[in-house]
């Protein structure tokens, strides 16, 4: 009996993918996560390996990372697009706890002891993976020419949550890449900002017929504005981090930073949460992102 590609393979692979999602939620976003850096780094490595192995084990027709020249099957093309955005979204979530890690964890002199040089190198690498995967999510949409293509080629029912996650990562990282010198070496702030704009343009296109997309667009625009105000306030009150020694740059962010009302504030004044409380969906993603800028001001 001939065994060729089957459109049903997609559903089997989604089931396998869902098992990895449950492991990510349990090991990285549960209440007990974020209590031990060494354990978190190990779990991140193991989960990332499982996700990569899942991708590599996909049937050839579903491998979104390989070429498919002259493939005329629209069904397989759409299935590849769906799996691609799921993959990049989950990989960004796996590594997101390490985005701006010193600031989120409010490191002090005592915790610095556990934050060894090898750990810092790994955290820095994972941070870059997070940003890279968010950019890959945005780049999937670079060739979209109209809303019809977007709806037909991608899982529109998941696009808002995936893009709000990628967009918030890109906005935050584009702001902080200008503040942290070589901490995000290899990424240009303009390129990251442009990818964030791609997410924003997609929300704009979907907002015509989607209230959720309109809300996501407004939140992204608000986050971007808050980020720019935070950056301007920081640059006006403190010397650029690039001027500081590399060994000092990574952890100096735990000191005093200006809030948006012009008053100096300690990072400890902000209600940063542990990775277990970090979001996977729309509204929580914005609450997570806005913490970086201390943008929740009374009366705003």
* Residue 116, pLDDT score: 65
Q: State both tokens at 258.
A: 């200006």
pLDDT along the chain (300 residues), means of 10: 71 96 91 78 96 96 90 86 94 92 59 62 91 94 78 74 91 73 64 89 85 87 81 65 39 38 40 42 48 44
Q: Are 229 and 295 within 8 A, CB to CB?
A: yes
Q: What is the spatial distance between Cα 61 and Cα 152, in angstroms, rounded to a whole number?
A: 18
Q: Is 39 a domain residue?
A: yes
Number of domains in the chain: 1
The HSE-up count of residue 182 (CA atoms within 13 Å, CB side) is 7
Which DSSP string corresponds to 186-237? Answer: T--HHHHHHHHHHHHHHHHHHTTT-HHHHHHHHHHHHHHHHHHHHHHHHHHH
Q: Which long-range contacts (CB under 8 A, 24 or more apart) does 31-34 make?
A: 31/276, 32/276, 33/97, 33/274, 33/275, 33/276, 34/97, 34/274, 34/275, 34/276
Q: Is 150 a domain residue?
A: yes
* Residue 114, pLDDT score: 54
Q: What is the spatial distance between Cα 214 and Cα 204, in angstroms, rounded to a whole number?
A: 7
Q: What is the spatial distance between Cα 77 and Cα 73, in angstroms, rounded to a whole number?
A: 6
Q: Is 2 a domain residue?
A: no
Q: Is 299 a domain residue?
A: no
Select from 144, 163, 161 the least CA-distant residue to 153: 144
Select from 180, 188, 58 the least CA-distant residue to 135: 188
* Residue 103, pLDDT score: 66
* Residue 181, pLDDT score: 52
Q: Are 251 and 107 within 8 A, CB to CB?
A: yes
CA distances from 273 to 105, 123, 197, 224, 240 (A): 8, 18, 27, 21, 26
Q: Is 51 a domain residue?
A: yes
Distant-in-sequence, close-in-space partners of 232: CB < 8 Å, separation ≥ 6: none
Q: What is the spatial distance between Cα 268 and Cα 201, in angstroms, rounded to a whole number?
A: 35
Q: Is 298 a domain residue?
A: no
* Residue 290, pLDDT score: 52
Q: Where are the alpha helices (DSSP H) in 115-210?
A: 117-139, 147-153, 156-177, 189-206
The HSE-up count of residue 137 (CA atoms within 13 Å, CB side) is 35
CA distances from 101 to 125, 134, 205 (A): 12, 17, 33
Q: Is 106 a domain residue?
A: yes
Q: Is 47 a domain residue?
A: yes
By residue range, what is the domain housing residue 137? 9-65+72-293
């Amino acid at each position: 009996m001939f065994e060729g590609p089957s459109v049903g393979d997609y559903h089997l692979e989604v089931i396998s993918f869902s098992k990895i999602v449950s492991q990510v939620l349990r090991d990285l976003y549960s209440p007990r996560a974020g209590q031990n850096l060494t354990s978190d780094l190990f779990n991140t490595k193991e989960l990332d390996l499982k996700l990569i192995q899942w991708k590599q084990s996909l049937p050839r027709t579903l491998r979104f990372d390989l070429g498919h020249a002259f493939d005329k099957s629209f069904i397989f093309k759409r299935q590849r697009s769906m799996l691609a955005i799921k993959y990049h979204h989950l990989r960004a979530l796996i590594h997101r706890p390490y985005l701006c890690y010193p600031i989120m964890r409010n490191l002090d002199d005592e915790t610095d002891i556990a934050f060894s040089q090898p750990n810092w190198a790994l955290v820095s690498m994972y941070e870059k993976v997070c940003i890279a995967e968010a950019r890959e999510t945005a780049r999937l949409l670079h060739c979209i020419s109209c809303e019809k293509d977007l709806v037909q080629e991608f899982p529109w029912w998941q696009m808002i949550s995936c893009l709000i996650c990628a967009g918030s990562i890109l906005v935050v990282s584009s702001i902080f890449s200008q503040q942290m010198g070589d901490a995000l070496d290899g990424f240009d702030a303009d390129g990251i900002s442009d990818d964030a704009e791609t997410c924003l343009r997609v929300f704009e296109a979907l907002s015509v017929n989607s209230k959720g997309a309109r809300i996501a667009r407004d939140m992204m625009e608000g986050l971007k504005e808050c980020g720019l105000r935070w950056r301007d306030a920081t640059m006006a009150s403190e010397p650029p981090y690039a001027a500081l020694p590399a060994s000092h740059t990574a952890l100096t962010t735990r000191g005093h930073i200006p809030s948006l009302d012009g008053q100096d504030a300690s990072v400890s004044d902000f209600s940063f949460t542990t990775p277990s409380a970090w979001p996977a969906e729309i509204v929580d993603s914005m609450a997570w992102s806005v913490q970086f800028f201390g943008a929740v001001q009374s009366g705003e």
